[in-house]
Structure 1
Amino acid sequence: MRSKSGQTSKYVFTMVELMIVIAIIVLLAALLLPSLQKARDTAKRIKCTGNLRQLSLAWLNYCNAHNEWLPVYDSALWGIGSWWSTSKAWPEIMQAELSTAVYKSTWGAYIIRKNSYLSCPSFPKTADMGTFNPDYGMNRFGIGGNTVNGAPIYKKMTNVKLPTQLVGFGDSYIAWAPTLGSYTIEGSGAHFRHSNKANLLFCDGHVELKDRYFFNPPWGWWNKAPWGNP
């Protein structure tokens, strides 16, 4: 009886110890997981920053190869056919400079290569083979070819007056298909996917993380930095 009782007591004690250990593990996990998630988010943001810097180099190479002329965000703005049939969005216009990030499919469409530097690691993907849409959009009203009134603006990089203040590209998305990214040829906007902030590439090549307040400039924003002609 004593032996059986002693064994039972020992078994109960062991279970209590196990429960305490499990409770400690759960507590430590609860304390550490947010820090680990924050570290992962930081790593993704840093990778996104690197992506935009690579995009900046491709953009600069395009300008150098075209006598400082800026690529438009959509060739239809300049009357090159109808949008649906023959117009080109900026990833296709800059395809030579974007190198392996964009490729032409066997059926003629230009595809953004998955996990390329046009693909933000903080943006969830649903396509297995790539997408028509990069995760970064061009500043249509500042350097992309027209103002909100349809008038052409910057034509050459040398026309940019305040490159440290004017946005060139940034985290974006398509409003009606937020998991796809953005060509910036449809109604789209900034995507705050880095802890409620967006990475922005400015015309001088530097990248900054900005919150939503940055996107609320005073009246007449199309004529001022960060969007319009400063």
Structure 2
Amino acid sequence: MQAEHAKSPVVRTAFTLVELLVVIAIIAVLASMLLPSLTKAKESAMRTNCSSTMRQIDITIRAYADDYDGWVPAARWDRDGGWNPWYKFLATYAPTLYRRPDCGNNLTDAVPDCPARSRQEQGWIFTSGGGAVDQAQAYCGGYGITRYAGYSDPANVAPIVSPRRKFTQFEPNSSTIMLCDAYYFELHDTLWWYPDHSGWWNDRAAFRHLNGANLLYFDGHVDWTHRRVSTAAEWRPTS
């Protein structure tokens, strides 16, 4: 008697077209659900890194103040035709923090770079004078310090002067802004946030972090603010 042979099971070797389309659709739905969360997580990480950079800047500013009888490094203090922005006063305290490539790819003293700085900022922006400002310049692309720390520009047609000040002149220091995300190296209360290609905008605050900006206050704490117009009281010293 001949033994009966069991039937071999049917082995499927591939998805049908319908099944493949279903899998692709499921993946697309999952990706659309996860992408905003991943993007937000990336933005939050850059915001945290930016806060860390600001705290490092604060350490160097306080080291400078300790060495110079409590004076805050001036936003810009030109003498004898020299170009002396605040980061040059601080470069010796943290050389790696205050050095990056310039337009010619040479390392130079510069404003520390914000990790969230966009490609647009790294390109060219046009000014109301019809020219352009290269954001690879040492004074662009990171952070701006308050002009009330001290500002002197004797070469200007209408010389701008704000006297140099000490930490004790910025009270209450927990609500007075010292430095923030910015397109340019210095800021003051009348030039806060109108980034606009139609006019000068390189000295405005830069809202790089989820439509907001990080702020460093005179007491050393860092906070985030949504896009808004600041008040004069947030910048100005008491004396």
Q: What TM-score do the two structures reach when normalised by structure 1?
A: 0.72
Query: Structure 2: any 5+ residue segments left out of the alignment?
Result: 1-11, 124-135, 153-158, 188-199
Query: Which residue of 156, 163, 174 corresponds with 1:164?
Result: 174
Name 1:227's counterpart in structure 2.
Answer: 235
Once residues 12 and 40 of structure 1 are traced to their aligned partners in structure 2, the CA distance between those partners, rounded to angstroms, is 38
Name 2:155's counterpart in structure 1.
Answer: none
| Compared CA separation, residues 210 and 162, structure 1 to 2 (3 A) | same
Q: Is the 8 A contact 2:150 2:161 kept in 1?
A: no
**Residues 69-100 of structure 1 deviation map (CA, whole Å, 9 limit, x = unaligned):** 12111112xxx123xxx121111121112321
Name 1:110's counterpart in structure 2.
Answer: 108
SS at match of 2:95: helix
Once residues 109 and 137 of structure 2 are traced to their aligned partners in structure 1, the CA distance between those partners, rounded to angstroms, is 6
Once residues 100 and 29 of structure 1 are traced to their aligned partners in structure 2, the CA distance between those partners, rounded to angstroms, is 39
Q: Is the 8 A contact 1:138 1:170 kept in 2?
A: yes
Once residues 23 and 50 of structure 1 are traced to their aligned partners in structure 2, the CA distance between those partners, rounded to angstroms, is 41
Q: Does 1:136 align with 2:143?
A: yes
Name 2:203's counterpart in structure 1.
Answer: 188
Aligned residues: 191
Instruction: Give 1:30 deviation, angstroms.
Output: 0.6
Query: Which residue of 73, 86, 89 corresponds with 2:75?
Result: 73
Once residues 54 and 17 of structure 1 are traced to their aligned partners in structure 2, the CA distance between those partners, rounded to angstroms, is 55
Which is richer in strand?
Answer: 2
Please tell me the residue identity of whatever aligns with 1:229.
Answer: P
CA RMSD of the aligned region, Å? 3.1
Please tell me the residue identity of whatever aligns with 1:139.
Answer: T
**Residues 113-162 of structure 1 deviation map (CA, whole Å, 9 limit, x = unaligned):** 8xxxx2111112548xx75135001011x32447xx95534521122221
Q: Is the 8 A contact 2:49 2:115 kept in 1?
A: yes
Name 2:117's counterpart in structure 1.
Answer: 123
Which deviates the most, 153-162 or 91-100? Answer: 153-162
| Compared CA separation, residues 156 and 216, structure 1 to 2 (3 A) | closer
Query: Which residue of 202, 205, 217 corresponds with 1:202?
Result: 217
| Compared CA separation, residues 22 and 158, structure 1 to 2 (3 A) | same
SS at match of 1:169: strand
SS at match of 1:201: strand
Once residues 100 and 109 of structure 1 are traced to their aligned partners in structure 2, the CA distance between those partners, rounded to angstroms, is 10
Q: Is the 8 A contact 1:154 1:160 kept in 2?
A: no
Query: Structure 1: any 5+ residue segments left out of the alignment?
Result: 1-9, 174-181
Query: Which residue of 47, 56, 59 corresponds with 1:57?
Result: 59
| Compared CA separation, residues 227 and 12, structure 1 to 2 (3 A) | same
Name 2:190's counterpart in structure 1.
Answer: none
Please tell me the residue identity of whatever aligns with 1:81.
Answer: D
Once residues 44 and 100 of structure 2 are traced to their aligned partners in structure 1, the CA distance between those partners, rounded to angstroms, is 33
Name 1:5's counterpart in structure 2.
Answer: none
Please tell me the residue identity of whatever aligns with 1:143.
Answer: A
Rg larger in structure: 2
| Compared CA separation, residues 35 and 104, structure 1 to 2 (3 A) | closer
